[in-house]
Protein backbone atom coordinates (compact mmCIF):
# COMPACT_ATOMS: atom_id res chain seq x y z
CA UNK A 1 0.00 0.00 0.00
CA UNK A 2 1.38 3.44 -0.95
CA UNK A 3 0.70 6.68 0.87
CA UNK A 4 2.46 10.04 1.51
CA UNK A 5 4.71 10.21 4.61
CA UNK A 6 6.23 13.42 6.06
CA UNK A 7 10.08 13.54 6.08
CA UNK A 8 10.24 16.28 8.74
CA UNK A 9 11.52 18.83 6.20
CA UNK A 10 8.12 19.57 4.80
CA UNK A 11 8.57 17.08 2.03
CA UNK A 12 6.26 14.16 1.46
CA UNK A 13 7.69 10.80 0.60
CA UNK A 14 5.78 7.75 -0.50
CA UNK A 15 5.83 4.79 1.89
CA UNK A 16 5.42 1.24 0.66
CA UNK A 17 3.86 -1.40 2.93
CA UNK A 18 3.87 -5.03 1.84
CA UNK A 19 0.58 -6.88 2.39
CA UNK A 20 0.16 -10.66 2.33
CA UNK A 21 -1.10 -11.99 -0.97
CA UNK A 22 -4.86 -12.30 -1.26
CA UNK A 23 -6.18 -15.51 -2.76
CA UNK A 24 -9.09 -15.74 -5.15
CA UNK A 25 -12.51 -14.95 -3.67
CA UNK A 26 -14.45 -18.20 -3.20
CA UNK A 27 -18.22 -17.81 -3.27
CA UNK A 28 -20.18 -19.57 -0.50
CA UNK A 29 -20.88 -23.21 -1.17
CA UNK A 30 -24.39 -23.86 -2.43
CA UNK A 31 -26.66 -25.79 -0.10
CA UNK A 32 -28.08 -29.11 -1.13
CA UNK A 33 -31.86 -29.41 -0.91
CA UNK A 34 -33.42 -31.53 1.86
CA UNK A 35 -34.17 -35.16 1.06
CA UNK A 36 -37.13 -35.79 -1.19
CA UNK A 37 -40.44 -37.06 0.08
CA UNK A 38 -40.92 -40.80 -0.02
CA UNK A 39 -42.91 -40.40 -3.24
CA UNK A 40 -39.83 -38.94 -4.93
CA UNK A 41 -40.91 -35.31 -5.06
CA UNK A 42 -40.63 -32.18 -2.96
CA UNK A 43 -43.69 -31.13 -0.98
CA UNK A 44 -44.45 -27.43 -0.61
CA UNK A 45 -43.00 -27.65 2.93
CA UNK A 46 -39.67 -28.85 1.55
CA UNK A 47 -39.71 -26.34 -1.28
CA UNK A 48 -40.10 -23.57 1.30
CA UNK A 49 -37.46 -24.99 3.63
CA UNK A 50 -39.84 -25.36 6.58
CA UNK A 51 -38.76 -27.18 9.73
CA UNK A 52 -40.11 -28.48 13.04
CA UNK A 53 -39.74 -26.66 16.36
CA UNK A 54 -43.06 -27.12 18.20
CA UNK A 55 -44.91 -30.43 18.54
CA UNK A 56 -48.41 -31.04 19.89
CA UNK A 57 -48.96 -34.45 21.48
CA UNK A 58 -52.56 -35.58 21.79
CA UNK A 59 -53.44 -38.35 24.22
CA UNK A 60 -56.68 -39.76 22.86
CA UNK A 61 -59.98 -40.05 24.76
CA UNK A 62 -60.18 -39.19 28.50
CA UNK A 63 -62.79 -38.25 31.08
CA UNK A 64 -66.11 -39.98 30.48
CA UNK A 65 -64.62 -41.48 27.28
CA UNK A 66 -62.16 -44.20 28.37
CA UNK A 67 -61.59 -45.35 24.81
CA UNK A 68 -60.81 -49.01 24.21
CA UNK A 69 -61.06 -51.29 27.23
CA UNK A 70 -58.63 -54.15 27.57
CA UNK A 71 -57.54 -56.69 30.13
CA UNK A 72 -56.54 -54.45 33.04
CA UNK A 73 -55.73 -51.44 30.88
CA UNK A 74 -57.78 -48.59 29.43
CA UNK A 75 -56.82 -46.67 26.33
CA UNK A 76 -57.26 -43.22 27.90
CA UNK A 77 -54.92 -43.92 30.84
CA UNK A 78 -52.37 -45.75 28.72
CA UNK A 79 -51.95 -43.11 26.04
CA UNK A 80 -51.78 -40.25 28.56
CA UNK A 81 -48.91 -42.01 30.33
CA UNK A 82 -47.10 -42.50 27.02
CA UNK A 83 -47.72 -38.86 26.06
CA UNK A 84 -46.22 -37.60 29.32
CA UNK A 85 -43.17 -39.82 28.87
CA UNK A 86 -42.77 -38.56 25.31
CA UNK A 87 -43.07 -34.96 26.47
CA UNK A 88 -40.10 -35.44 28.81
CA UNK A 89 -37.96 -36.90 26.03
CA UNK A 90 -38.77 -34.07 23.64
CA UNK A 91 -38.22 -31.34 26.23
CA UNK A 92 -34.83 -32.81 27.14
CA UNK A 93 -33.94 -32.60 23.44
CA UNK A 94 -34.90 -28.92 23.30
CA UNK A 95 -38.15 -29.39 21.40
CA UNK A 96 -41.15 -27.26 22.36
CA UNK A 97 -44.04 -29.51 23.39
CA UNK A 98 -47.73 -28.89 24.01
CA UNK A 99 -50.06 -31.59 25.33
CA UNK A 100 -53.76 -31.42 24.55
CA UNK A 101 -54.49 -32.91 27.97
CA UNK A 102 -52.46 -33.69 31.10
CA UNK A 103 -55.18 -35.24 33.22
CA UNK A 104 -58.09 -37.62 32.80
CA UNK A 105 -60.30 -35.04 31.09
CA UNK A 106 -62.56 -35.17 28.05
CA UNK A 107 -61.88 -33.02 25.00
CA UNK A 108 -63.88 -32.93 21.79
CA UNK A 109 -61.92 -34.22 18.80
CA UNK A 110 -62.19 -30.85 17.06
CA UNK A 111 -60.85 -29.08 20.15
CA UNK A 112 -57.66 -31.13 20.03
CA UNK A 113 -56.92 -29.97 16.50
CA UNK A 114 -57.85 -26.42 17.45
CA UNK A 115 -55.24 -26.50 20.22
CA UNK A 116 -52.56 -27.51 17.72
CA UNK A 117 -53.55 -24.72 15.34
CA UNK A 118 -53.81 -22.14 18.11
CA UNK A 119 -50.38 -23.05 19.47
CA UNK A 120 -48.82 -22.75 16.02
CA UNK A 121 -47.64 -26.35 16.08
CA UNK A 122 -45.38 -27.69 13.36
CA UNK A 123 -46.34 -31.32 13.98
CA UNK A 124 -49.35 -33.09 15.51
CA UNK A 125 -49.27 -36.64 16.89
CA UNK A 126 -52.42 -38.26 18.27
CA UNK A 127 -51.71 -41.37 20.36
CA UNK A 128 -54.29 -44.16 20.58
CA UNK A 129 -54.55 -47.86 21.39
CA UNK A 130 -56.38 -50.31 19.17
CA UNK A 131 -59.19 -52.75 19.91
CA UNK A 132 -60.96 -55.58 18.13
CA UNK A 133 -63.72 -58.11 18.72
CA UNK A 134 -61.13 -60.63 17.56
CA UNK A 135 -59.01 -61.32 20.65
CA UNK A 136 -56.18 -62.52 18.42
CA UNK A 137 -55.85 -59.17 16.63
CA UNK A 138 -52.51 -57.60 17.41
CA UNK A 139 -49.98 -55.17 16.03
CA UNK A 140 -49.17 -51.54 15.32
CA UNK A 141 -50.54 -49.25 12.64
CA UNK A 142 -50.17 -45.55 11.90
CA UNK A 143 -52.64 -43.36 10.02
CA UNK A 144 -52.54 -40.13 8.06
CA UNK A 145 -55.58 -38.16 6.94
CA UNK A 146 -57.25 -39.23 3.72
CA UNK A 147 -60.29 -41.17 2.62
CA UNK A 148 -60.16 -44.77 3.84
CA UNK A 149 -59.18 -47.25 1.16
CA UNK A 150 -59.73 -50.46 3.14
CA UNK A 151 -62.59 -51.77 5.25
CA UNK A 152 -60.32 -52.26 8.26
CA UNK A 153 -59.13 -48.64 8.12
CA UNK A 154 -62.72 -47.44 7.84
CA UNK A 155 -63.65 -49.51 10.89
CA UNK A 156 -60.85 -48.03 13.00
CA UNK A 157 -61.85 -44.51 11.95
CA UNK A 158 -65.49 -45.21 12.80
CA UNK A 159 -64.53 -46.36 16.30
CA UNK A 160 -62.18 -43.45 17.01
CA UNK A 161 -64.63 -40.89 15.58
CA UNK A 162 -67.57 -42.15 17.64
CA UNK A 163 -67.22 -39.31 20.17
CA UNK A 164 -66.89 -36.53 17.59
CA UNK A 165 -70.37 -35.10 18.13
CA UNK A 166 -70.44 -34.00 14.49
CA UNK A 167 -73.80 -33.61 12.75
CA UNK A 168 -74.57 -34.74 9.21
CA UNK A 169 -74.64 -31.12 8.08
CA UNK A 170 -70.88 -30.94 8.59
CA UNK A 171 -70.26 -33.61 5.94
CA UNK A 172 -69.60 -31.27 2.95
CA UNK A 173 -67.01 -29.27 4.88
CA UNK A 174 -65.36 -32.43 6.17
CA UNK A 175 -65.12 -33.93 2.69
CA UNK A 176 -63.70 -30.68 1.35
CA UNK A 177 -61.07 -30.52 4.11
CA UNK A 178 -59.93 -34.05 3.37
CA UNK A 179 -59.88 -33.52 -0.39
CA UNK A 180 -57.86 -30.29 -0.08
CA UNK A 181 -55.35 -31.77 2.36
CA UNK A 182 -52.08 -30.08 1.34
CA UNK A 183 -50.10 -31.79 4.11
CA UNK A 184 -50.71 -35.27 2.77
CA UNK A 185 -47.15 -36.00 1.58
CA UNK A 186 -45.56 -34.80 4.81
CA UNK A 187 -48.14 -36.57 6.97
CA UNK A 188 -47.53 -39.80 5.07
CA UNK A 189 -43.77 -39.45 5.53
CA UNK A 190 -44.15 -38.75 9.24
CA UNK A 191 -46.50 -41.73 9.61
CA UNK A 192 -43.90 -43.91 7.90
CA UNK A 193 -41.23 -42.84 10.39
CA UNK A 194 -43.58 -43.51 13.32
CA UNK A 195 -44.55 -46.95 12.06
CA UNK A 196 -40.97 -47.99 11.36
CA UNK A 197 -39.64 -46.79 14.71
CA UNK A 198 -42.47 -48.42 16.66
CA UNK A 199 -41.98 -51.83 15.08
CA UNK A 200 -38.18 -51.72 15.35
CA UNK A 201 -38.12 -50.51 18.96
CA UNK A 202 -40.82 -52.84 20.28
CA UNK A 203 -39.72 -56.03 18.53
CA UNK A 204 -36.89 -56.84 20.99
CA UNK A 205 -39.49 -57.00 23.81
CA UNK A 206 -42.49 -58.17 21.79
CA UNK A 207 -41.02 -60.64 19.32
CA UNK A 208 -44.41 -61.39 17.79
CA UNK A 209 -45.23 -57.73 17.16
CA UNK A 210 -47.13 -57.37 13.91
CA UNK A 211 -46.44 -54.56 11.47
CA UNK A 212 -49.88 -53.55 10.20
CA UNK A 213 -48.40 -50.75 8.13
CA UNK A 214 -49.13 -47.12 7.31
CA UNK A 215 -52.76 -46.49 6.40
CA UNK A 216 -55.12 -43.67 5.55
CA UNK A 217 -58.53 -42.85 7.02
CA UNK A 218 -60.75 -39.83 7.76
CA UNK A 219 -60.02 -39.29 11.45
CA UNK A 220 -61.88 -36.24 12.76
CA UNK A 221 -59.01 -35.42 15.12
CA UNK A 222 -56.74 -34.89 12.09
CA UNK A 223 -59.18 -32.87 10.00
CA UNK A 224 -58.36 -29.19 9.86
CA UNK A 225 -54.85 -29.52 11.27
CA UNK A 226 -52.63 -26.84 9.75
CA UNK A 227 -49.55 -29.02 10.06
CA UNK A 228 -48.48 -32.60 9.21
CA UNK A 229 -50.48 -34.86 11.50
CA UNK A 230 -50.79 -38.58 12.19
CA UNK A 231 -52.64 -40.95 14.49
CA UNK A 232 -50.69 -43.85 15.98
CA UNK A 233 -52.42 -47.03 17.16
CA UNK A 234 -49.67 -48.28 19.45
CA UNK A 235 -50.99 -51.82 20.18
CA UNK A 236 -54.20 -53.75 20.86
CA UNK A 237 -55.47 -53.54 24.43
CA UNK A 238 -57.88 -56.37 23.58
CA UNK A 239 -55.02 -58.79 22.88
CA UNK A 240 -54.04 -60.60 26.09
CA UNK A 241 -50.29 -60.64 25.40
CA UNK A 242 -50.11 -57.03 24.26
CA UNK A 243 -52.31 -55.92 27.18
CA UNK A 244 -49.87 -57.53 29.64
CA UNK A 245 -47.00 -55.62 28.07
CA UNK A 246 -48.96 -52.36 27.95
CA UNK A 247 -49.63 -52.50 31.69
CA UNK A 248 -45.91 -52.28 32.42
CA UNK A 249 -43.86 -49.09 32.60
CA UNK A 250 -40.88 -50.46 30.62
CA UNK A 251 -43.01 -51.24 27.55
CA UNK A 252 -44.71 -47.86 27.74
CA UNK A 253 -41.29 -46.24 27.88
CA UNK A 254 -40.23 -48.17 24.80
CA UNK A 255 -43.28 -46.82 22.98
CA UNK A 256 -42.40 -43.26 24.04
CA UNK A 257 -38.79 -43.83 22.96
CA UNK A 258 -39.98 -45.04 19.56
CA UNK A 259 -42.26 -42.04 19.03
CA UNK A 260 -39.44 -39.73 20.09
CA UNK A 261 -37.05 -41.36 17.61
CA UNK A 262 -39.64 -41.00 14.84
CA UNK A 263 -40.19 -37.31 15.55
CA UNK A 264 -36.46 -36.61 15.59
CA UNK A 265 -35.93 -38.60 12.40
CA UNK A 266 -38.71 -36.74 10.61
CA UNK A 267 -37.50 -33.43 12.02
CA UNK A 268 -34.03 -34.13 10.64
CA UNK A 269 -35.39 -35.00 7.20
CA UNK A 270 -36.66 -31.43 6.78
CA UNK A 271 -33.38 -29.75 7.57
CA UNK A 272 -31.22 -28.51 4.73
CA UNK A 273 -28.57 -31.07 3.93
CA UNK A 274 -24.87 -30.43 4.49
CA UNK A 275 -23.36 -27.92 2.07
CA UNK A 276 -21.88 -29.47 -1.04
CA UNK A 277 -18.40 -28.46 -2.13
CA UNK A 278 -18.25 -25.62 -4.62
CA UNK A 279 -16.97 -26.79 -7.96
What per-residue confidence (pLDDT) applies to 270?
81
Cα gap 134→252, rounded to integer Å: 23
Half-sphere exposure of 70 (CA within 13 A, CB side): 31
What per-residue confidence (pLDDT) applies to 143?
96
The CATH code of the domain at 53-269 is 3.40.630.40
φ/ψ of residue 143, rounded to 5: -115, 145
pLDDT reading at 154 higher than 90: no
DSSP character for 141?
Answer: E
Residue of 116, 141, 121, 117 whose CA lies nearest to 131: 141
Cα gap 95→108, rounded to integer Å: 26
Query: Residue 40, SS3?
Result: coil
The predicted model scores a pTM of 0.77
Per-residue confidence band for 5, with pLDDT thresholds at 50, 70 and 90: low
For residue 99, the cross-strand partners are 57
Per-residue confidence band for 105, with pLDDT thresholds at 50, 70 and 90: very high
Half-sphere exposure of 193 (CA within 13 A, CB side): 24
What per-residue confidence (pLDDT) applies to 269?
85
pLDDT reading at 50 higher than 70: no
User: How much is the average pLDDT of 146-150?
Assistant: 70
To the nearest whole number, what is the mean pLDDT of the chain? 83
- Poorest-pLDDT segment among 19-23, 114-118, 190-194, 225-229: 19-23
254: Cβ–Cβ under 8 A, 6 or more apart, which residues?
201, 202, 205
Instruction: Between 260 and 223, name the one with better pLDDT.
Output: 260
% of the chain with per-residue pLDDT over 90: 59
CB distance 98 to 215 below 8 Å: no
What per-residue confidence (pLDDT) applies to 80?
99
Per-residue confidence band for 235, with pLDDT thresholds at 50, 70 and 90: very high
User: How much is the average pLDDT of 14-43?
Assistant: 64
Cα gap 70→125, rounded to integer Å: 23
Positive or negative torsion for Cα 66, 69, 75, 78 = positive
Instruction: Between 168 and 99, name the one with better pLDDT.
Output: 99
What per-residue confidence (pLDDT) applies to 27?
65
Per-residue confidence band for 279, with pLDDT thresholds at 50, 70 and 90: very low
259: Cβ–Cβ under 8 A, 6 or more apart, which residues?
82, 86, 125, 127, 194, 197, 198, 232
CA angle 193, 195, 198 (to 5 degrees): 105
Amino acid sequence: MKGPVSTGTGELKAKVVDLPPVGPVVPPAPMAPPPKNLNGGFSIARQLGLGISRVVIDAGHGGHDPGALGKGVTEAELVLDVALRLETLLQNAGVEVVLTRRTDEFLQLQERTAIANREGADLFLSIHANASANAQARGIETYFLNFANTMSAAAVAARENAASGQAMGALPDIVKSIALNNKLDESRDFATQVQKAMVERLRPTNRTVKDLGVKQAPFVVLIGAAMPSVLAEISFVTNAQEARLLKGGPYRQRIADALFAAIRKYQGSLRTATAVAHQ
